[in-house]
Structure 1
């Protein structure tokens, strides 16, 4: 009987240990569900770090994964290396999905950042000489946008197209030598070209001050495709934790952070009237 009692005790101890193990496992799973990896451009960490602290109080551990180019964040998203990302606009996403048979979707708008023209040699686009070299971003979305900015500035005219390339230039009175470059290289090209159209985050990463731009893209109703947003894959678009991240972003707190950090160069898009 004593031996039988010892067996019963051992079985009870084993059962208790097993129960604790299962509970611990469930606890870890719950914690894992609250961890969200987000892919961002490096310069945007000044917005996302304060937001991560806010989300921590809501039980969400936001892990920032920083990128310095536009080629990898969507690949990282589709390959599961990040859960969400926040770097692209609608034009870029639609073009990327089409080219890569992707299933990336928006789950909430963040900001809109006008493209700017920078130069080290001139102080106005009117000072451009005939045959001057001009750099614009080379990815299809930003090449289109860069060309539209040059048209806004009165330097070229474009034929109608959904996504313009340099082949769509129908008037170029100054015979400008317009060269598409990887977006990350446009700022670095300023020593070799008369001017460059540079995306806001690339300018930030390169130390270019928005106030030093010689031309700023005008934001109009036609600018809606250039609104940035938080993205995930289609199968995760209804994830409750991701929606909490969006809700936390679209607040007065972040609106004030955008004003504080970007000095008016970046506008909150979730309540912007296009």
Structure 2
């Protein structure tokens, strides 16, 4: 492990940084390779961490921990699997294939309303012009101009009816798309529920398989409460140390807690590189 703090470079399996550095920033540097704390840039070159590092890669007194979730990830870090994994992957692939997009129909509804209003107006105009044309014919009056008005109105009505029919068809199509989108959304929600249920079952199975190792590790954590007590009710630092011990870490663990006499002792107990950040 190589740890760079501005221009200072420290190498080894157990290093100590100044107390002025935020341990959470150091943990981000472990995960991303580099992070900045105010005016200070921290770089860490080491093995990239497993996802369990997000939970137990930075230990400090104010931390929280979902022990069972962390334990399940520790089991994954050790290469353990469950009978639920294949189905989870299959459902996740189905979920990723669903393209969920909202389908709006407001514009199409407005177009249908406008086309319908125009059609009704032109129908009234055609009827009125037809009546005037009939009256002129019956009275032997001149009909040429009114006949032309009638033909123009009839033509405009035909075009308006065509436009209205197209608008209704477009609205029907958009409504079908909206129904299909709602169906896909319902399927998405059902798949998400199924996946989450399977993941809960997988976590429970992993925790059961690693429970004994965790309970044994908790009993050996320096500064742990005196037995008897429920290992799953241990304080977050004690639980995180136990999870870290059994998680087969390769990436550095950031320690900002006083449980070990030295960073080297912490590294030996965890079986992982350690970056010590003393409490201020």
Larger Rg: 2
TM-score by length of 2: 0.20
Higher RCO by CA contacts (8 Å cutoff, separation 6 or greater): 2
Whose helix fraction is larger, Structure 1's or Structure 2's?
A: 2
TM-score by length of 1: 0.21
